[in-house]
Amino acid sequence: MKGKAYIQLGRIDAATDEFFAVIVEYPETKEAPEANFFIGYCYMLQGKFDQAKQALSLVATDFPGSSFASKAKLCLIRIDGMTQEWSDECFIKSWKDQKNTFENQFF
């Protein structure tokens, strides 16, 4: 999917658009769980945690047999842990420091 390349290039809005296009054009295909997961992942990268949680929860519940369901659950745990433990300022600095390491887990 082109959206993954956009993530690697730091073009998160373009990546999100690509993943939404996959869902709109091919909602019943095997790519749907992956596209939904990466929408949540993009929101997470942007710090839009409420939207990320919503998208990732959808993957976990609507596609429970998918490998992306387990990845979505890991992201949800990470979001919950990080947002509950730290203040916003501390979280943002830490998130930027960890972003590249975390990204490598999904590519």
The torsion angle over the Cα atoms of residues 10, 13, 14 and 20, rounded to 10 degrees, is 130
* pLDDT, tens digit (0-9, with 9 covering 90-100), for 32-77: 999 999 999 999 999 999 999 999 999 999 999 999 999 999 999 9
Q: Which of 10, 78, 67 is nearest to 44 (CA)?
A: 78
pLDDT value of position 1? 74
Whether residue 94 has pLDDT greater than 70: no
